[in-house]
Structure 1
Amino acid sequence: MSVITQGIRDLVKKAISDNTIFSKSYCPYCIGAKDLFDDIHVDYKALELNDHVDGDAIQKALAEMTKQNTVPNIFVNQQHIGGSDALKSALASGKLEKILKEAGIKAKL
């Protein structure tokens, strides 16, 4: 049985409704993912788990939801992208461009 509270699940679900990177401020993969969004001029919300009082619980809730235990854990237009490598792959394959267009988000690709 999960020990994650409904409040944490609600917080995660609300954050997912934005373009969100669940991140840790010191993680080089997280920094790279945020840099990629900056480079293509896409607004995003970064939730720095190491700076959040409930960061550990948020990361556990994300692991339950996505089966991904690591950061960055990236969502665009409420779709789970994955981590840093998955984001780069989505960019290279055109998948990221498609997701952004579906959301009405203009990017400099």
Structure 2
Amino acid sequence: MADVIIYTKAYCPYCVRAKSLLDQKQVAYQEVKIDEQPERRAEMIEKANGRSTVPQIFIGTTHIGGCDDMFALHAADKLDSLLTA
């Protein structure tokens, strides 16, 4: 199972939706709450090639983007293969 890191903020409906999909798939993930750890926001932006919105989701070393990007991978039956790589 690939390591999953998700950068989030409290009260972000997209973050909740993304985490919910990962929970449904029983995927463990590391959540980085950038509102509680603001020093990690710059890290997220750098790793996400300048994207500053949350969530930003990484599977292994692959940046898959945000919530909509993850759901698009799921709809295309490509998410599970990334998660199990």
* Greater Rg by CA: 1
**What secondary structure, in the 3-state scheme, does the structure 2 residue paired with 1:51 have?**
coil
Partner of residue 6, structure 2: 21
Contact 1:19 1:43 in 2 (8 A): yes
Partner of residue 82, structure 1: 65
Please give the root-mean-square deviation of Cα atoms over the aligned residues, in Å: 1.8
2:85 counterpart of 1:97: no
TM-score (norm. length: structure 1)? 0.68
- Structure 2 stretches lacking a partner, 5+ long: none
Q: Give the drift of 1:94.
A: 1.4
- What's the % identity of the aligned pairs? 35
Deviations 1:44-85 (A, max 9, x none): 0110000014144334434xx423221100001221110010
CA distance in 1, matches of 2:83, 2:31: 17
- Structure 1 stretches lacking a partner, 5+ long: 1-16, 103-109
Q: 1:52 to 1:95 in 2, by over 3 A?
A: same
Which ranges of 4 or more aligned residues in structure 1 deviate by more than 4 Å? none
CA distance in 2, matches of 1:33, 1:51: 19
Q: Determine which of 46, 49, 61 is the counterpart of 1:66.
A: 49
Q: Whose helix fraction is larger, Structure 1's or Structure 2's? A: 1
Aligned residue pairs total 84
TM-score (norm. length: structure 2)? 0.85
The one-letter code matched in structure 2 to 1:75 is F
